[in-house]
Structure 1
Amino acid sequence: METKLIPSKNYLCYTTQTTLNKLHEFADQAVDGVYEAVAKGGLKAVGPMEFIYFDCSNDRDKEFTLEIALPVETGMEFKSEIHKIKKIENFKCLSHTHNGDLLNLPGIYQQLFEKVYKSGIKPTNQVREVYKSFSGMESNDNITEIQIGIN
């Protein structure tokens, strides 16, 4: 894991309350909706899709806030009741790149958080998954950067 400072960016976001157990029920549709909103709004994507988790824990039935977010260029008027453009400030994190099957992420998270806590670092309430390459949930071609927020 390496420490990174992710610079402030503008995102087109879909924000919802969900649980880890319910996430799969709507994620594909929500991601498609973000891409459609970008296209309809005449916006330009400037980075890969991100899932930004707030107050998420390993309790798969505990509700948390999720932002499905795509970095975009701003400067254009954008109106939507479902999607919002947000400026998200600098984000200091510990970063780990996972190559492969996304179904392995729970185990990866467990290992990462064990390392974080053993090192004495206290994580923030925010974790991000940056989908640098996505070919399907179980694809070995996926490249996902996991970013654990730190102070």
Structure 2
Amino acid sequence: MQVKTMPPMTVLYYTTKTTFAGLEEIIGKVPQQLQNEANRLQLFISGPQYWFYFGADGKPDTEFTLEVALPVKGDVNQATGYQFKHLSPFKCVAATHEGGWDQLHLTYGKIIPWLFSQGMQMANDLECREMYVNVDFDEQENNLTEVLVGIK
């Protein structure tokens, strides 16, 4: 576990209301669409994809806001079916999850009690981010995900 501040960045992103049970419709499809759009707009993709969760409680049927984001550099004033926004620095507790995403809850289950034991509080909007460092749909044990839990 590590306390860190993620740097500011500009992202091309997709937003939706969903549940954990509904994520399967988004995985793979939306990130590829964002990459295709960034390429069409001739933007430089400046980092790995991020998923931002607002109001998620870990239960499969609870609705929350999801943003799938791709850090970019370039002319962000172009017309697109997606949105752009500039993200401020993000203070968080970070831990690396290695392996399948079906076990991500175990990493959250370590981070959240740890941050409370250190006298920290989660951010007011309960924002959590996942940075997908390596994605391997065929051999999920090769997945590398940085889990970032926002703190005050």
Q: TM-score, normalised by structure 2?
A: 0.91
> Which residue of structure 1 aligns with residue 32 of structure 2?
32
Asked if the contact 1:17–1:66 (Cα under 8 Å) also holds between the matched residues in 2, the reply is yes
Percent identical residues: 30
Offset at 1:118? 2.9
Distance in structure 2 (CA, Å) of the matches to 1:137 and 1:144: 16
Offset at 1:123? 0.7
Distance in structure 1 (CA, Å) of the matches to 2:138 and 2:91: 27
Distance in structure 1 (CA, Å) of the matches to 2:10 and 2:105: 28
Runs of at least 5 residues in structure 2 that lack an aligned partner in the other structure: none
Distance in structure 1 (CA, Å) of the matches to 2:113 and 2:76: 43
> Which residue of structure 2 aligns with residue 140 of structure 1?
141
- Counterpart amino acid of 1:59? K
> Which residue of structure 1 aligns with residue 70 of structure 2?
70
* Backbone CA RMSD of aligned residues: 1.5
Asked if the contact 2:95–2:107 (Cα under 8 Å) also holds between the matched residues in 1, the reply is no
For residues 73-106 of structure 1, what are the alpha-carbon distances to aligned partners after superposition, in whole Å with 9 as ceiling and x for unaligned? Answer: 033542113x111101110000101112221102
Alignment of 1:1-150 (within 5 A): 1-81=1-81, 83-124=82-123, 125-136=126-137, 139-150=140-151
Asked if the contact 1:102–1:137 (Cα under 8 Å) also holds between the matched residues in 2, the reply is no
Distance in structure 1 (CA, Å) of the matches to 2:138 and 2:89: 29
Distance in structure 2 (CA, Å) of the matches to 1:20 and 1:6: 25
Asked if the contact 1:50–1:129 (Cα under 8 Å) also holds between the matched residues in 2, the reply is yes
Distance in structure 2 (CA, Å) of the matches to 1:122 and 1:53: 17
Runs of at least 5 residues in structure 1 that lack an aligned partner in the other structure: none
Q: TM-score, normalised by structure 1?
A: 0.92
Asked if the contact 2:13–2:83 (Cα under 8 Å) also holds between the matched residues in 1, the reply is yes
- Counterpart amino acid of 1:25? E
Q: In structure 2, do the counterparts of structure 1 residues 120 and 105 end up closer, same or farther at CA, with 3 Å as the change threshold?
A: same
Q: Which SS does the other structure have where 1:58 is aligned?
A: coil
Count of matched residue positions in the alignment of Structure 1 and Structure 2: 150
Offset at 1:45? 0.3
- Counterpart amino acid of 1:127? C
For residues 94-140 of structure 1, what are the alpha-carbon distances to aligned partners after superposition, in whole Å with 9 as ceiling and x for unaligned? Answer: 01011122211022212222222333321111100000111127521
Asked if the contact 1:128–1:148 (Cα under 8 Å) also holds between the matched residues in 2, the reply is yes
For residues 37-88 of structure 1, what are the alpha-carbon distances to aligned partners after superposition, in whole Å with 9 as ceiling and x for unaligned? Answer: 111111110000000111111222111111100100033542113x111101
